[in-house]
Amino acid sequence: MSAWETVIGLEVHCQLATRSKLFSGAATAFGAEPNTQACAIDLALPGVLPVLNREAVAMAIKFGLAVGAQIAPRSVFARKNYFYPDLPKGYQISQYELPIVALGHLDITLPDGTGKRIGITRAHLEEDAGKSLHEDFHGLTGIDLNRAGTPLVEIVSEPELSSAAEAVAYLKKLHALVRYLEISDANMQEGSFRCDANVSVRRVGDSKLGTRAEIKNINSFRFVERAIEVEVERQIELLESGGQVVQETRLYDAERNQTRAMRSKEEANDYRYFPDPDLLPIEVSEAWVEHLRAQLPELPQARQARFVSQYGLSDYDAGLLTAERELADYFEASLTSGAEPKLAANWINGELAAALNRDDLPITASPVSPAALGGLLGRIVDQTISGKIAKDVFAAMWQGEGEADAIIQARGLKQITDTGAIEAAVEQVLSANPDQVEQLKAGKDKVLGFLVGQVMKATGGKANPAQVNALLRSKVGV
C-alpha cells in the first residue's frame, strides 16, 4: 500500500457551440485560414466595444442547471491581465469573483463499479486567446487570431479526484454531458474540450494539501491519464529523495511520456483582476432560468436509469449505451424496427462497437443504420437465421451489400428448421464421434458443445442451434 495519496483538481475549457464569438459577430467555425475570422473587436483595435453573446450565457446556464449548481442572478466580467503574443488586448475577459455558475456536482462511476460525487466549484464564461504558430516560420512565431474571443465555459472541480482513473472517469462524464446538452461539440482534436490538471501528493493521513503542479492543455483522455500518472510518480520520487515540489505550470510531452516545467505558477494577484468597465453585469431573471430548464434534454444519468427500468437492461449495458447521446439515440431507433432491447444492446455494444473501433468511425457514420440493424436482429428473433450467420450478414451489410433480407436471400442463408434434415446431420456426427458420445454419456457436458459445433459445421452454420441441442440430447439420452 502506498504511503502517498494523490489529490487532483481539473479545470476544463469547453468551447460553447455558438456561431459567433463571445463579444463580437466574427464566426467560430473551425479550420478557416488564419486570421480570416477575427474582426476589429477580436483584434482589439482602438475605439471598439465588446457586445455580449446572449446564446453563450444561455448555454452556460444550461450547464449549471444540469449539474445542480446555483445560477447567479448577477455575475460580472473581469479583465485578467497578462501579456502574451496571441492576446492582443493584453488582457482576457473572464469572470472572477462573481461567476455565473457555482457549487454544482457530477456523479461518476469508478472502474470498480462504485460511485463518487465530485464537486464543481464554479463554471465561468471567458473568451479564448489566439494561437501561436511555430511550424513553417523558421525560428519565428506566427499568430492566428481566429480563436481570439471564442466563447468558453471554464469548469473548475473541487480537488476531490484521487487517481488518474478517477480524473478520466470525471472527464468522460463531463464530455458526454456537454454533448447531451448540445452546448459544445467537445471535439478534443480541435481544442473544443481541453483540460488543465492540478496535481499534488501528500502523506496518507495528512490533512494539508501538498504543493501542486498544473499540467496545461491536455486534449485526450489517454494523455490525461498518462500525464497525471507520470506527474504523481515525479512528485513522490522528488519528495522521497528529500526535495520539494515547486508550484509551477508544466507541459506534458507525450512522446517522452514526461512532464516538464514551463513557468512558475501565477497567483490570482499576479493577474490584477478588475471588473471590465466596458461590460455591464449579467442580470439573469428567474423566469429565463426556468425557460432554459424546460429546454434541458433527458440527461445521461436519467436516460441510463430509464433504459434499465423500461428495457430491462443491466446497469452496465445501459451505461455503455448512454455514454454518448448519439449512441443512445441509435439504440432506441433500432428498437422501432422490432429489435428486442437486450439483443439490440448486445449487438450494439459488441459487433457494432467492434466494427466502429476497427474502422475508427463515430456512431453517426455507421454504414449500418439503426433501422437496418433492427431488421437484421428481427431475422434472428423469427429464426430465419442463427446468431452465427447473422454476424456474416452484418459484415456484408457493413460492406454496403444491402439490407439483411436481400443478403440472406441472395446467399441462401436461411436457417434450416426442417427436423428431418437436422436429424440426419446429428446422426452423422454421432456416428463419426463415438468417443465423444461416450464421454457425454459419462457426464462430461462440455462435450455437448463440441458435438453441436460439428452439426453446425456440417450444415454450413444454418441449422437451428436450439433444435440441434435438443436432438443431440435426445439421441444420446442425456
Q: Flag whether 362 is in a domain.
A: yes
Q: Does 413 or 251 have the greater pLDDT score?
A: 251
In this structure, the answer to whether residues 395 and 468 fall within a common structural domain is: no
pLDDT band at 384 (very low <50, low <70, confident <90, very high): confident
Q: Flag whether 280 is in a domain.
A: yes
In this structure, the answer to whether residues 213 and 339 fall within a common structural domain is: no
Q: Flag whether 293 is in a domain.
A: no
Q: Are 249 and 263 in contact (CB under 8 A)?
A: yes
Q: pTM value?
A: 0.82
Q: Does 117 or 465 have the greater pLDDT score?
A: 117
Domain termination site, one of 391, 411, 431? 411
Helix (H, G, I), strand (E, B) or coil at 74: strand
92-96, 177-181, 242-246, 326-330: which range is least confident on average? 242-246
In this structure, the answer to whether residues 307 and 276 fall within a common structural domain is: no
Q: Are 200 and 212 in contact (CB under 8 A)?
A: yes
Q: Flag whether 272 is in a domain.
A: yes
In this structure, the answer to whether residues 208 and 315 fall within a common structural domain is: no
- Cα separation, 473 vs 357, in Å, equals 40
pLDDT value for 429:
85
110-114, 323-327, 460-464: which range is least confident on average? 460-464
pLDDT in tens, 177-219: 999 999 999 999 898 999 999 999 999 988 888 899 999 888 8
Which grid coordinates are listed for 31? 479550420
Q: Flag whether 292 is in a domain.
A: no
- Cα separation, 127 vs 147, in Å, equals 9
In this structure, the answer to whether residues 276 and 303 fall within a common structural domain is: no
Q: Would you say residue 256 has pLDDT above 80?
A: yes
In this structure, the answer to whether residues 170 and 273 fall within a common structural domain is: yes
In this structure, the answer to whether residues 233 and 303 fall within a common structural domain is: no
SS (H, E, C) 270-328: HHCCEECCCCCCEECCHHHHHHHHCCCCCCHHHHHHHHHHHHCCCHHHHHHHCCCHHHH
47-61, 101-115, 215-229, 423-437: which range is least confident on average? 423-437
pLDDT value for 268:
67
In this structure, the answer to whether residues 261 and 382 fall within a common structural domain is: no
Structural domain span for residue 331: 298-411
In this structure, the answer to whether residues 449 and 335 fall within a common structural domain is: no
Q: Flag whether 125 is in a domain.
A: yes
In this structure, the answer to whether residues 172 and 230 fall within a common structural domain is: yes
Q: What percent of the chain has pLDDT over 70?
A: 99
In this structure, the answer to whether residues 112 and 170 fall within a common structural domain is: yes
Domain termination site, one of 287, 308, 326? 287
Q: Is 223 exposed, middle or buried (0-12, 13-18, 19+ CB in 10 A)?
A: middle
Q: Flag whether 227 is in a domain.
A: yes
In this structure, the answer to whether residues 219 and 368 fall within a common structural domain is: no
- Quote the number of domains for the chain: 3
Q: What is the mean pLDDT of residues 408-433?
A: 80
Mean confidence (pLDDT) of the chain: 91
Q: Flag whether 36 is in a domain.
A: yes
Using CA atoms of 139, 142, 148, 152 in order, give the dihedral in degrees to the nearest 10: -40
Say which CATH number the domain at 440 has. Answer: 1.10.10.410
Q: Would you say residue 453 has pLDDT above 70?
A: yes
Q: What is the mean pLDDT of residues 295-323?
A: 94
Domain termination site, one of 386, 411, 436? 411
- Cα separation, 141 vs 127, in Å, equals 22
Q: Give the position of cell 478517477.
A: 166
